[in-house]
Amino acid sequence: MAPAAAAALLAAVFSVQAPSTAAAAVPDTIPLKVTNNSGRSGPVYLYDLGTQLSTGQQGWADANGTFHAWPAGATPPVDAPDASIPGPAAGQSTTIRIPKFSGRIYFSYGQKLVFKLATGGLVQPAVQNPSDPNHDILFNWSEYTLNDSGLWINSTQVDMFSAPYAVGVKRADGTTAGTGHLKPGGYNGFFTALRGQPGGWANLIQTRSDGTVLRALSPGHGLETGAVPASVMDDYVNRVWQKYATTSLTVTPFADQPNTRYYGRVSGNVMNFTDASGAVVTTFQKPDADSIFNCHKLLDAPNDQVRGPISRTLCAGFNRSTLLISPNQPDTNPADFYRDTVTNHYAREIHARMADGKAYAFAFDDVGNQESLVHDGSPQQAYLTLDPFN
């Protein structure tokens, strides 16, 4: 699972309390129905890759949900076994079984993906690298965790916006919940909007030599490739730093703990956070665009009860450009998001085109429940719908 999106997904998973009797009855595998509404001809290939929760082993699952551990890798990396599962033709559906995993469901159009094994395990596709063997393949993935407490499955754009799809779950009462569908025209509309956004954002788009649009990289990866300038967020960060040199930024990181508050104040290049007693609990250096878009480095978010929750709140505030709108964060009102001219325009354009407004456009897009995630404690079936490219 990608480190960025996984941080938010797994934070949700591990915040769950001890399994209830119903949740404990989650079977070892559940069906995943994959429906191909893409309208594209040619083959589709599916992959279920991840970590087996009962053993911690990395591997893949076949169409029956049987786990297979990866063999040893090497330096340089060697080819992984072919873990592909034939997917549905256009207009058809295929049902496979998925085991208790924390991992990804990949799907690719036209050709199989290339996976390698290094000494540290599976090498995931990294299409920000122009020499990655999957660079010219049209593909995408969903992240999921299935354990004794149920199923969490998302549609994610943390790394890239590419082939459109949605996810869902059938509950024990027969109802279904889903997320990830784009509005009509949303797929093409996103790329059109990105092309029209000044400041290098159009450079995030990657196309194949035949003209096929493959994806738009997230701005974090765009910084790696030089698609967007490293200074892209500097003006906003400078204004935030100026404001909170003379006033306090109040962070209430837990919605269910309104009395747990931290107070940020800038001094020089540092924002110090104090608790109610006035004691300094953590400090943040003035962040750069990389720290903001990837929610790491200067905005690292450890799995603790103080720095991590504050950092997640700051990350969301910088990406959504809400820190100058309100000194009380998180700001969970979508009407306040992305209003500044300096913002995460990639995330802005994605959210604007989602049918339900939900997306995982950056690592902690789940702050304020804006993420495209569904969960159920007693899942009867999961769904993955390959949507049309319009």
Give yes or no: residues 33 and 140 share one domain: yes
pLDDT of residue 69: 97
Residue 270 predicted with pLDDT over 70: yes
Contacts of 350 (CB under 8 A, 6+ apart): 157, 161, 190, 359, 361
Q: Are residues 246 and 186 in the same domain?
A: no
> Has residue 202 been placed in a domain?
no
* Domain presence at residue 226: no
Q: What is the pLDDT of residue 25?
A: 84
Residues 120 and 239 in one domain: no
In this structure, are 166 and 252 located in the same domain? no
Residue 31: which domain range? 3-16+23-197+355-386
Is the bond leading into 184 cis (omega within 30 degrees of zero)? Answer: no
Which residues have CB under 8 Å from 206's CB, separation 6+?
127, 135, 213, 214, 215, 216, 217
Tally of CA atoms within 13 A in the half-sphere of 334 that contains its CB: 13
How far apart, in whole angstroms, are the C-alpha atoms of residue 104 and residue 112?
16
- Are 337 and 359 part of one and the same domain? no
Q: Name which of 311, 300, 217, 230 is nearest 264 in CA terms.
A: 311
Residue 159 annotated among the catalytic residues of the structure: yes
For residue 142, the domain's CATH number is 2.60.110.10
- Average pLDDT on 311-334 reads 98
pLDDT of residue 14: 37
Question: Which of these, 80, 62, 78, 61, lies nearest to 70 by C-alpha position?
Answer: 80
pLDDT of 80: 97
Using CA atoms in the order 41, 43, 46, 47, what is the torsion angle rounded to 10 degrees?
Answer: -130
Q: Does the predicted TM-score (pTM) go above 0.75?
A: yes
Please tell me which residue in 143, 331, 349, 366 is annotated as part of the active site: 143
Using CA atoms, how far apart are residues 224 and 222, in angstroms rounded to an integer?
Answer: 5
Q: Has residue 41 been placed in a domain?
A: yes
Structure tokens at 101: 């995993």
User: What average pLDDT is seen over the chain?
Assistant: 94
Same domain, yes or no, for 162 and 308? no
Q: Does 346 fall in a domain?
A: no
**CATH number of the domain that residue 263 is part of:** 3.30.920.50
Q: How many domains does the chain have?
A: 2
Report the chain's C-alpha Rg in angstroms. 21
Q: Report the pLDDT value the prediction gives residue 18, as an integer from 0 to 100.
A: 37
Distance CA 224, CA 241 (A): 25
Question: What share of the chain has pLDDT > 70, as a percent?
Answer: 94
Instruction: Give yes or no: residues 178 and 29 share one domain.
Output: yes
Mean pLDDT of 145-163: 97
Q: Distance between CA 368 and CA 354 in Å, rounded?
A: 16
Domain membership of residue 206 (yes or no) is no
Mean pLDDT computed over 281-293: 98
Q: How much is the average pLDDT of 258-275?
A: 97
pLDDT tier for residue 11 given thresholds of 50, 70 and 90: very low
Same domain, residue pair 51 and 185: yes
Let me know whether 337 and 369 are in one domain.
no
The catalytically annotated residue of 48, 79, 159, 387 is 159
In terms of pLDDT, which residue wins out, 13 or 101?
Answer: 101
Which stretch of DSSP H or E encloses residue 243? helix 234-243
| Average pLDDT, integer, range 140-152 | 97
| Over residues 66-92, mean pLDDT | 97
The verdict on 263 and 378 lying in the same domain is no
User: How high is the pLDDT of residue 17?
Assistant: 36
Residue 208 lies in a domain: no
User: Is 83 part of any domain?
Assistant: yes
324 and 378: one domain?
no
| Percentage of the chain lying above the pLDDT 90 cut | 94
Q: Is residue 258 part of a domain?
A: yes
The token pair at 299 is 């905005």
**Taking a C-beta distance cutoff of 8 angstroms, is the pair 251, 262 a contact?**
yes
Cα distances (angstroms) measured from residue 243 to each of 123, 250, 319, 331, 340: 43, 13, 17, 17, 15
Q: Residue 65 — left, alpha, or beta (φ > 0 → left; ψ -120 to 50 → alpha)?
A: left
Same domain, yes or no, for 160 and 253?
no
Tell me how far apart the alpha carbons of residues 154 and 148 are, in angstroms, rounded to a whole number: 18
